[in-house]
Amino acid sequence: MKVCAILPPFLPIEDIKRTAASILPDIEIITDLDFKTNESEVLIATTFTKIDKQVLDRFKNLKFLQIASTGYDNVDIAEVKRRGIILCNSPTSNKESVAEHVIGMVLYFLKDFKFLDGELRNGNWPVLTASRDLKGKTFGIIGMGAIGKRLAERLAVFGAGIIYYDEYRLKEETEDDLGVTYVSLKELISASDIISIHVPLTETTRGMISKKEFESMKPGCIFVNTSRAEVVVTQDLINALKSGKIKAGIDVYDREPPDFSSDLFRTENTLLSPHIAGVTIESQGRFIEETVSNVIRFLQGVEPLNRVA
């Protein structure tokens, strides 16, 4: 079977080609869609390429689509199902990276790093600070998939109390192993000192955090979103930040690159990153390994892992 990979040009394409070719010698790696047709039966893509009907029309023989990412909301799933194409993702490759990114954002606020750094750069030597410990804080995790679970495991050593909400509750023994307590979304929002979102973008999760939820949060709550921007109503987030009630670590935006004239970029109580929480040198290596491994499973007639459609 012919295998094709569509990758964004900013990735280290030559390095990826060398790595992939050692396992799949005939793989074709492209960086744009400037062609009419492609005969490949297997397609590898990232979330940076929209896989819609127009793109699928160019791959008339496509049987298997592997998204090298946890998210796959760039794919027209209905069209993929209609054509009988198998769709898989890579849900665990970046769990370490995202969990660490979240904790880094949280510690930035708790330890008052911005204030302390600014004081020293201005020639001051503060003897008091509003710095706080993570130990003893109530940490709410919305979405207990691979990333949510890894975050909970990492938080355990900090001594935080971990509560979570998910559409599907974990088994009791899994909750015990992770040291987490299941609560309703309403209770999590009102009880947490820190909230981190780890849900996929679906019609159920779209806009699940809006004005009502922000109004229910504790004053000073640290809110982190590394999942998808559309899970949160952006204007309601901006209003909550402007009021000074919450602080926020944001890694995802309604449009990427975002509208830099947005008031979000004028708020003082935010820490912003460019949708890069899951992007580390190590995670990219894992994505390549897991993606190619899953493609090989399909080529060998073995049921691929992490099938979503």
Q: How far apart are CA 175 and CA 184, in angstroms?
A: 15
Count how many Cα atoms sit within 13 Å of the Cα of residue 191 in the half-sphere of its side chain: 19
Per CATH, the homologous superfamily of domain 3-93+280-299 is NAD(P)-binding Rossmann-like Domain (3.40.50.720)
CATH architecture of 95-272: 3-Layer(aba) Sandwich (3.40)
Tokens 């394409």 identify what position? 13
**Which position has the higher pLDDT, 66 or 9?**
66
Common-topology check for domains 3-93+280-299 and 95-272? yes
What is the crossing angle of helices 113-121 and 95-110, to 10°? 60
C-alpha 50/C-alpha 131 separation (Å) is: 43
User: Residue ranges per domain, the chain?
Assistant: 3-93+280-299, 95-272
pLDDT digits 0-9 by tens, 208-248? 999 999 999 999 999 999 999 999 999 999 999 999 999 99
Read off the pLDDT of each residue in 9-21 and give the average, rounded to a whole number: 81
- Write down the pLDDT at residue 281: 83
Is pLDDT above 80 for 152? Answer: yes
- For 267-286, write each residue's pLDDT tens digit: 999 999 999 999 888 888 88
Distance between CA atoms of 278 and 264, rounded to whole angstroms?
22
Residue-level pLDDT at 15: 80
pLDDT of residue 285: 80
Q: pLDDT grade, residue 117 (50/70/90)?
A: very high
pLDDT of residue 24: 86
Structure tokens at 67: 């998204």
- Token pair, residue 278, equals 């899951």
Per-residue pLDDT at 20 exceeds 80 = no
What pLDDT score was predicted for residue 200?
92
pTM: 0.90
Banded pLDDT at 121 (limits 50, 70, 90): very high
Measured CA to CA, the distance from residue 287 to residue 190 in angstroms comes to 36
Structure tokens at 8: 């964004």
- How much of the chain, in percent, has pLDDT values that exceed 70? 100
Taking 90 as the threshold, does the pLDDT of residue 287 lie above it? Answer: no
**Tens digit of pLDDT for each residue in 79-106?**
999 999 999 999 888 999 999 999 999 9
Residue 229: what pLDDT? 97
pLDDT, the chain, mean: 95
Give the catalytic positions in this structure. 228, 256, 275
Q: Which two tokens stand for residue 130?
A: 């509003």
User: What pLDDT does 8 receive?
Assistant: 87
Q: What is the pLDDT of residues 154-171, one digit of tens each?
A: 999 999 999 999 999 999
